[in-house]
Chains A and B, each alone.
Chain A
Amino acid sequence: MASSYELTHEREYHVIRSAAALFDVSPLYKYRVSGRDAAHLLDLVVPRNVVKAEIGQVLYTPWCDHAGKVIDDGTVAHLGEDTFRMTSAEPNLRWLGDNAAGMQVEITEVSDSIAALSLQGPMAWAILESLGAPQLKYFRLAPARIHDIPVEISRTGYTGDLGFEIWMKSADALPVWDALIEAGRAYGIMPAGMLALDIARIEAGLMLIDVDYVPARKALITSQLSSPFELDLGWTVNLTKERFIGRAALAEEKARGPQWQFVGIELDWNSLERLYAEVGLATRLPSAAWRMSVPLYAGGEQVGYATSGGWSPLLKKYLALAHLRAPWFAQGTPLEMEITVEHRRKRAAAAVVKKPFFDPPRKKA
């Protein structure tokens, strides 16, 4: 995915929240899972209930290894009778295949043959409507045609805003991109890249693999592993299901309560301003989102770490996504976050706040 299409990402970021941004999200891994046991295979692999998903429904879900530690996260779309598409950030063909032993199911890697474009922002629907797309509820998908090219449109995205993803054969992706840009011109559409998306996804409180968590397959030591409960994804774990990978470990963890939690952090402006004022500077804010581990303290002791953060030009707040140890993950807990001011490490006041930081009604309306 491109970092940005312009020299800086600023305009690209602002159109996500004011007009519409078009992203090429084709680098996602995509698998077509079909056959009599397709639903059962996916139901076994992910903790959400796939069997109950209606045709046209899309589920966001993490999935775990047998120890209940998160391997990856992505979506499962119920495309049609016994047909699903799974998207992921990491390759999962082998994982799906190994778990399909004895099942009547066909797993096809369509990462290269299916392209995906993501149209996000308050004007996204107006653009699609002008192209004759059908109305869609949040996390639903339907077949459509754009300039007579067959596509599937899902009301999904990674910005926490009104937005859609358009799925089509790779060969059709360029004409569809052109059609969207052309139709979107009247609505202020712009192509956008990862730098803009990174700020938007932090505002939306959405975690990023390899940045906010280490997938279980890449963990070198056990302390790098995370469960869905520790990533604030407890809502995806459906323990009423009789069987799915990691169930026993997750049931046990739920009973015990997670020791870590993935939360939103907001820095206190006055505290930040004071740290800069002490050295005679005006407050400096990051222009792009950062991705690194930053210590968080409570009462002088390190109680967690932020993994990504930055300034939200929309909310006018300094935000971060962070992992905190019990009991410091409770909302409202006062903390301190390390911040480097003029080459010196300082601590700015911060607090645990509700995420998503930004959650407009238009997202689901």
Chain B
Amino acid sequence: MKTYDVIIAGGGHNGLACAAYLARAGRKVLVLERRERVGGAAMSEEVFPGFRFSVFSYVVSLLRPEIIRELELARHGLQILPLESTLTPLLDGPMSGSYLAQWSDHDQNRRELARHSPRDAEAYDEFGLLLHRMARAVKPLLSTAPPDPASRDPRQLLDLLSLGRYFRGLPERDLHALWKLLTMSAADYLDEWFDSEALKGTKSASGIIGTLLGPRSPGTAYVLLHHYMGELDGVFRAWGFARGGNGSVSAAIAAAAQAHGAEIRTQAPVSKILLAGERAVGVVLEGGEELRAPVIVSGADPRRTFLGLVGEAHLPDEFVGAIKRYKFRGASAKVNLALGELPRFTCMPQPGPHLRGAVSISPSVDYLERAYDDAKYGEISRRPYMDIVMPSMLDPSMAPPGKHVMSIFVQYAPYHLNGGWNDARREQLGDTVIDTLAQYAPNLKGAILHRQVITPADIERIVGLAEGNIFQGELTLQQMFFLRPAPAWSRYRTPVHGLFQCGSGTHPGGGVMGASGRNAAMAILGARA
């Protein structure tokens, strides 16, 4: 029987990153992926003949630059194309029939914002600069295991001390700003800066992504910052699209892992983590095959890892309680469209650079909050928030010549839907999304060749993310940093010796970051055997 130093259950991008780092350090690594392809929620698929989609996650920004560097992802085929603009079309209000566009050219952007509010045009630069400083302040937190302030472990105390020193070294104004970002709602925070409803609506949308909270819920300002931490070529808050879709990110990491000698097996679902006493010693596949290694890593979400693969009986009660209380509450859905022609937005009907960026249906904070109101009581938003990109505008290989793919991220579609999800409810969601978008781009319905609707229940079923939460658990403060996923177990270790965890359900959380995979690998390499 072949033996391994490390077995990783789950070939999502974090599991793959963990494998790549461990293999790079000379460990014999095996990755086991349940599905026929690796990537988890970061995958591309030709859903309809000729039309390729980033079926689930669809943009790149948060992928840590050190991972791109260290794993030589560019050499392994990763190519990131910039998404340069955001268009918010408007139906009602003082700018009805017009739009708010955010462009990458500074002066063009300022002129456009000044059309809505000259004050906002000025505040925008200062706001951007402040969030830049905040992102920089938080950046060192992302690449390390978070120390627990309650811990007495000397190593953690040292980490805590150096972190404390680091934060003491920040200017006072930045500390105050950081505290506000950690505690406020996105809407309140943005009210301190801006007047324009369209701008506040669009900015606050970053604060609700993946979370069953509204823009007026406290804590959402942090989620907004989380989305500002992305960094491309040294620029914070830059968003891009991976050529070939987000599956290319996973493919590049997998190629790096394999180049370092890691073995990857697909269609190899892990059903159980094998224990010997209090130690993890291997895994059992669904077919009954047993594979053994002294170190097991789970890239699955905390619920699946602990309550599923390990089992409550083998874990301390307190820990089981914490994992049970850990909140998922998926709130997001995806609609992927194959289009015969480009959509014509009434506010900007000609084809143009705006179609190479994002289109955001977020005309105001009220609009988003009303969308949340529906979800709060278990319903699909009657008028949902949408973040739309057309990857075929940036990468023609995604669709047949002259045709296009459109990716629509939708919120809210609560996992805990009244009456539960079924085919009828899925189609209702698809219709709601298309009816809403058609108000802004009337030719849309006629342009649709195929549609794929993915509910939170589908995300759970297909990718295995509990309750369809795209971040393997909400990015709310009570389950962030040293509390992710559970108090005292935030540093990629678990109560089971030899069992480690990575994935968005661990620090620093969601998005296609790869940080937890890398951090977990570092924790394993630093651990005593």
Q: Which residue numbers of A lie inside 8 Å of B, CB to CB?
A: 91-95, 97, 109, 217-218, 220, 222
Contacts and interface: CB of A to CB of B under 8 A. Distances in A.
B490 to A, nearest CB: 30
A94 B129 contact: no
B136 to A, nearest CB: 8
Contact of A218 (B110, B121, B129): B129
B interface: dominant SS: helix
Contacts of A217: 125-126, 129
B129 A93 contact: no
8 contacts: A91-B110, A91-B118, A91-B121, A94-B122, A218-B125, A218-B129, A220-B132, A222-B171
Contacts of B126: 217
Nearest to A91: B122
A228 B430 CA distance: 60
A94 B123 contact: yes
B458 to A, nearest CB: 44
B171 A93 contact: no
B133 interface: yes
B119 A94 contact: yes
Contacts, number: 25
B122 A220 contact: no
A218 B122 CA distance: 12
Interface in B236-269: none
Contacts of B118: 91, 93, 109
B236 to A, nearest CB: 11
A217 B129 CA distance: 8
Nearest to B136: A220
Nearest to A92: B122
Contacts of A109: 118
A97 B118 CA distance: 11
Contacts of B171: 222
B483 to A, nearest CB: 31
A92 B129 CA distance: 16
A220 B133 contact: yes
Contacts of B119: 93-94, 97
B237 to A, nearest CB: 14
Nearest to A97: B119
Nearest to B110: A91
Contacts of B123: 94
A68 B410 CA distance: 48
Nearest to A219: B129
A114 B33 CA distance: 65
A204 to B, nearest CB: 26
A351 B122 CA distance: 40
Given A91-B110, A92-B122, A94-B119, 18 more contacts: A91-B118, A91-B121, A91-B122, A91-B125, A93-B118, A93-B119, A93-B122, A94-B122, A94-B123, A95-B122, A97-B119, A109-B118, A217-B129, A218-B125, A220-B129, A220-B132, A220-B133, A220-B136
Contacts of B136: 220
Contacts of A95: 122
A87 to B, nearest CB: 16
Contacts of A222: 171
Among B110, B122, B126, B132, chain A packs the most CB atoms within 10 A around the CB of B122
B107 to A, nearest CB: 9
A95 B125 CA distance: 13
Contacts of B122: 91-95
A67 to B, nearest CB: 10
A218 to B, nearest CB: 7
Nearest to A94: B122
Contacts of A220: 129, 132-133, 136
Nearest to B126: A217
- Residue among A94, A109, A217 with most chain B CB within 10 A: A94
A92 B121 CA distance: 10
Closest 4 CB pairs of A and B: A91-B122, A94-B122, A94-B119, A93-B118
Contacts of B133: 220
B90 to A, nearest CB: 22
Nearest to B132: A220
B163 to A, nearest CB: 20
Interface string B122-158: 1101100100110010000000000000000000000
Nearest to B193: A94
Contacts of B121: 91
B231 to A, nearest CB: 15
Interface in B381-395: none
Of A91, A93, A220, chain B has the most CB atoms within 10 Å of the CB of: A91
